[in-house]
Structure formats: structure tokens, C-alpha cells
Amino acid sequence: MIAIDGPAGAGKSTVARLVAKETHLPYLDTGAMYRCVALQALNDNVDPHNQAAVARIASEISIVLEGSATFLNDVDVSNDIRTPEVAAVVSVIAALTPVRDAMRTQQREWIARHGGGVVEGRDIGTVVFPDADVKVFLTASPEERARRRVAQAGGNIDEVAAGISERDHIDSTREDSPLRPAENSVIVDSSGKSIDEVVAEIVNAFEVTRR
């Protein structure tokens, strides 16, 4: 199993998908799970700071991840969970312990069903799967991450950089499983590297563990 953690905009999803392809392992995007909770909260007009209400949503909704598709209560929301509206509240929702508990349970069940995989998020190597074969902390400079986000989705680079900075602060200072490299993790800084170079570095680290 390969656990990939890192801050917003580091390229975790893209890299994890390619690593999964190269290693022939299933892929789990845990960020999509938290985004599903955020989307449902928005659809239900629930205040994202209302812990009890959001926790109830997290425990009741059905989330199914199939390849690159995400289904929320049997509806394909692969595009809906990537909107700016969801991005604006997901970090608040993801900081709530009952929500994290519910998502971690589903993540562990997913891995048990699939017999392993490539899992990316922000607390995968530190909390969810601390015994993963390879733990990677994928990062990049704030400027690089902002440029990538703008290249992908457009927007004002100063505003995007500010949003990334705010997300970094929330993720790294929350009480429940703050963002940080896991013990014995491989630190991969993707600044100035191609996606293929980053993928090769992680795949090589995984292959070393299997020799």
C-alpha cells in the first residue's frame, strides 16, 4: 500500500492516479469523500460549522468511488464536488472530528475490500494507515501550487495563492490530525519536476520495499 499526503495544490490526485496505474493498485481519493460531505451540506443548506448537523450528514450519506467517478447517494457528482463553492467550505468540514472519524472508517473498509491501494489525502500516513508500505509527503512551493491551480481552473493567481495559504493554515493547525509528514515518510518536492519524474520517484520507493 502507498499513502500519499500533502498540502492543497501539490498534485496528489494526478500523481496518485498515475502511481496506481504504474503499480497496478486501486486508487482512493479521500479528498473526494470530504467534498461529498461538503456538497451535501451545501445542498441541505447546513452551516459547515454546525458540527452535529454535518456529522449526521457524514454518517448517513452513501459515497461510492469507482475509478475517476464519484457517486453521492447514487448520483454522479464527479464535477459538482470540484466547484469553488465546495472548495470554500471543505476545509472547515474536514476539520470536524466526527466527520474525519466517519470518513476514516470508510477509507479503512475500502482498503480492506480492495486488499491495498494507493490512497491520497492529508492524514493517510499519519493516522489512517500508519503501517503503509510507503508513506509519501508530496509538496511544492506555494507559488508553484498557485500557478498549477490557475493553469487548471483559471482565476486570479493572487486570489488562488491566498486561498491555498488559508487552506494550508487550516489543515496544519487543526486539532484533529494536522497536516504533517508521517514518520519515515519519503518527502517529495515536485517544484520544477515533471509529473513523470515525481511518479517515478514514488514508484521506485515502493519497488524498493518489495525487494
| Domains of the chain, start order | 1-26+117-211 (3.40.50.300), 30-115 (3.40.50.300)
Going by C-beta distance under 8 Å and a sequence separation of 6 or more, which residues neighbour residue 106?
33, 63
Q: Is residue 152 predicted with pLDDT exceeding 80?
A: no
pLDDT of residue 131 exceeding 90, the answer is yes
User: Which amino acid would we find at residue 185?
Assistant: S
Q: Check if the beta carbon of residue 29 is closer than 8 Å to that of residue 210.
A: no
Does position 157 have pLDDT exceeding 90, yes or no? Answer: no
Q: Rg for the chain (alpha carbons), in Å?
A: 16
> pLDDT for 22-73, tens place per residue?
999 999 999 999 999 999 999 999 999 999 999 999 999 999 998 789 999 9
Percent of the chain with pLDDT over 90: 71
Identify the three-state secondary structure at position 72. Answer: strand
Q: Are strands 69-72 and 75-76 parallel, antiparallel or unpaired?
A: antiparallel
- C-alpha pair distances (Å), 113 with each of 106, 108, 136, 165: 10, 9, 23, 36
With CA atoms as reference, report the closest residue to 121 among 159, 79, 195, 171.
171
The packing angle between helices 84-94 and 97-114, to 10°, is 100
Confidence of residue 107 (pLDDT cuts 50, 70, 90): very high
CA atoms within 13 A on the CB side of 169: 6
pLDDT number for residue 90: 93
What are the cell numbers at 162? 491566498
Name the pLDDT band for 108 (thresholds 50, 70, 90). Answer: very high
**What local confidence, expressed as pLDDT, does residue 47 receive?**
97
Separation of first and last alpha carbons in the chain:
15
For residue 95, give the C-alpha cell. 476539520
Provide the percentage of residues in the chain whose pLDDT is more than 70: 100
**For residues 116-123, average pLDDT:** 93
- 160: pLDDT confidence band, cut at 50, 70 and 90? confident
Q: How many CB atoms lie within 10 A of CB 76?
A: 12
H-only helix segments in the chain: 12-23, 30-43, 51-60, 84-94, 97-114, 142-153, 157-173, 195-209
